[in-house]
Amino acid sequence: MSPTAEATPESDLPGPRERLARAAFVGIGTAVVVPRVPPRVRRGRHLGLALAAALGLYAGAPDLRVSPSQRAALAAGLALLAGGSSALGSAADAAAERALVRRGVRHPRWWIGLGAVALVEVSELGRRVWGRVP
């Protein structure tokens, strides 16, 4: 842990039930729900994430001391970043599934879901060991 980082207090860390619920939600959502979503709904999801990020920054950060036009520009930039990363994540997900199918892996979506659960747990481990990890 760096000298400037603050460790997350134990009371702020999720318990085993919350961690299990989060991992199950991510794993099942990744393994089952994502490939069944029509393209129009997927595009709407990317746009929704972008709008939520922009609104969250624009309206939800009252202590951000910038002018309204700067706040709007920051919100627009964050919206592009959130929407773009969501679209790139979906593209990477589809590419990973195609690669697993080409290699003859049975049930590739379940393996991708298991990988998502592993990422959630590694993030939680990092948060416990090094302090704040998003």
The CA distances from residue 46 to 34, 60, 88, 91, 113, in Å, are: 13, 20, 10, 12, 20
**H or E element that contains 29:** none
Q: What share of the chain is helix, strand, coil (3-state, %, to 5)?
A: 80, 0, 20
What confidence score (pLDDT) does residue 2 get? 47
Measured CA to CA, the distance from residue 41 to residue 47 in angstroms comes to: 10
CB 117 within 8 A of CB 27: yes
pTM of the predicted model over 0.75: no
- What count of Cα atoms within 13 Å lies in the side-chain half-sphere of residue 132? 3
Mean pLDDT of 29-44: 78
Running DSSP on this structure, what letter comes out for residue 58? H
Task: Render pLDDT for 55-72 as a digit per residue (tens, 0 to 9).
Answer: 888 887 777 788 888 888
Give ∠ CA 57-58-64 in degrees, rounded to 5: 75
What confidence score (pLDDT) does residue 90 get? 84
Flag whether pLDDT at 126 surpasses 50: yes
Running DSSP on this structure, what letter comes out for residue 12? G
CB 97 within 8 A of CB 109: yes
